[in-house]
Amino acid sequence: MTVLVTGASGLLGGAVARLLVERGHDVRTLQRRPSGVAGATDVAGSVTDPDVVAAALDGADAVVHLAARVSLAGPPAEFDTVNVGGTAVLLDAAERAGVRRFVQVSSPSVAHGGTSLVGVGAGTADPAHARGDYARTKAAAELLALDRDRGAEGMAVVAVRPHLVWGPGDTQLVERVLDRARRGRLPLLDHGAALIDTLYVDNAATGIAAALDRAPDVHGRAYVLTNGEPRTVGDLLVGICRAGGVRPPTWRVPAGLARAAGGLVEAAWRLRPGTDEPPMTRFLAEQLSTAHWFDQRRTRADLRWTPEVGLDEGFARLAAHYGGSAA
């Protein structure tokens, strides 16, 4: 197949594009900067540009859409433009181009209202109750994608929600954790005992590829992808810090205080945005202090997918990359 992968300059998008090249697909990538994926053809531009998107889709059979505005803060309009508007542009152009399979890469946050999620399934994306502009706009984008009527000869659409993807070179989770730990700005909320799922990057790539393979049979459905190995927040932070050669966090902050502080920081960032991510937001405090792990039985059965890299092996690979310890 000829597959267009958007957002391939990121950790996960690049992993997906490389995997599809390895599997013999003709891969194109669409993003603002070079993807660095050997064997793929880069198309420079934004998913919000109809002309660029149309050119990228010429002759394509399938789309894996990962490009998104990802941040804990920022102008709401920017999230809407890229995450909702860009998805709409891509969906419309894909249908016009005769694309037969479309994988919308979403997020479990689209169905998270701030309370614990314990052994649940995907749930319905809910923009009205999503926490923060990223989750809100990703929820709206997922609904746009899954609302497409396949018809007799139309495009098969499936949404996948990789949960807390990490691996060597990850700037969204791993390197933020390491940076904050080095600066003494990484607390445990309450006792760090909230149980959460994560997903090693190689497993995320094979899960997305499985969704692409299975799209005609699972049209209109959403699936959460995880390693299926819930660990406490404290255990995960310790594992990342040790692998990165950084001292793990030892100080604690009450979760309620962190949520209140996150609200104040968000308000301050709206008035005078910082050059970096805010140190705390309400969403981040909720993610670090509430359980969120998922029942993977339907995901694995429907997509015929099983993660190959366990968390302990993932930490060993992380330690090999950063020069730390896996134990």
Nearest to 118 by CA among 234, 292, 287, 283: 292
Query: What are the pLDDT digits (tens) for 155-204?
Result: 999 999 999 999 998 988 888 889 888 888 777 777 778 898 999 999 99
Q: What is the mean pLDDT of residues 245-256?
A: 76
216 in a structural domain: yes
pLDDT band at 266 (very low <50, low <70, confident <90, very high): low
Between 316 and 260, name the one with better pLDDT: 316
Tell me what pLDDT residue 176 has.
85
DSSP summary character for residue 307 = -
Asked whether residue 78 is assigned to any structural domain, the reply reads yes
pLDDT for residue 152: 67
In a domain, 282, yes or no: no
Asked whether residue 8 is assigned to any structural domain, the reply reads: yes
Residue type, 307: P
Residue 290 backbone dihedrals phi, psi, to 5 degrees: -120, 145
Choose the most confident range, by mean pLDDT, from 60-69, 72-81, 114-123.
Answer: 60-69
pLDDT for the residue numbered 12: 95
pLDDT score recorded for residue 86: 97
β-pairing, 231-232 vs 195-196, is antiparallel
For residue 40, is it within any domain? yes
Of the listed ranges 68-72, 129-133, 314-318, the least confidently predicted one is 68-72
pLDDT digits (tens, 9 = 90+) for 286-313: 666 678 889 999 999 999 999 999 999 9
> Residue 253 above 80 pLDDT?
no
210 in any annotated domain: yes
pLDDT at position 127 over 90:
yes
Mean pLDDT of 110-127: 86
CA distance 119 to 296: 8
Residue 61, pLDDT above cutoff 80: yes
- 70 lies in a domain? yes
Q: Which one is predicted more confidently, 240 or 187?
A: 240
The CA-based angle 180-165-212, given to 5 degrees, is 160
Provide the domain limits for residue 47: 2-162+199-226+295-308
Weakest-pLDDT range from 192-201, 220-229, 270-279, 300-309: 270-279
Instruction: Return the minimum-mean-pLDDT range out of 67-71, 84-88, 193-197, 250-254.
Output: 250-254
Q: Name the β-bridge partners of 225.
A: 162
CA-to-CA distance for 193 and 198, rounded, in angstroms?
15
Asked if 248 contacts 237 with a C-beta cutoff of 8 angstroms, the reply is: yes
pLDDT at 323: 87
Helix (H) or strand (E) holding 118: strand 117-120
Domain count, the chain: 1
Residue 264 lies in a domain: no
Round the average pLDDT of the chain to a whole number and report it: 88
Tell me what pLDDT residue 54 has.
97
The catalytic residues are 134
Q: Are strands 252-253 and 195-196 parallel, antiparallel or unpaired?
A: unpaired
pLDDT at 267: 58
Report the candidate in 236, 231, 205, 210 with the shortest Cα–Cα distance to residue 221.
210
Say which residues have a Cβ less than 8 Å from residue 66's Cβ, sequence separation at least 6. Answer: 5, 6, 7, 8, 10, 12, 13, 16, 105
Number of H helices, E strands in the chain: 12, 15
Q: What is the pLDDT of residue 100?
A: 96
Query: 299: domain CATH number?
Result: 3.40.50.720
Q: Is the C-alpha dihedral spanning 52, 45, 38, 178 positive or negative?
A: negative
In the structure encoding, which two tokens stand for residue 216, read together? Answer: 């005609």
Predicted confidence at residue 70, as pLDDT, reads 82
- Overall average pLDDT of the 138-165 stretch: 92
pLDDT of residue 147: 93
Confidence of residue 112 (pLDDT cuts 50, 70, 90): confident
What's the CA gap between 200 and 164, in Å, rounded?
Answer: 8
End-to-end Cα separation, the chain, in angstroms: 42
User: What is the identity of the amino acid at 232?
Assistant: T
> Residue 275 pLDDT > 90, yes or no?
no
Position with higher pLDDT, 122 vs 191: 122
Tokens 């209202």 found at: 113
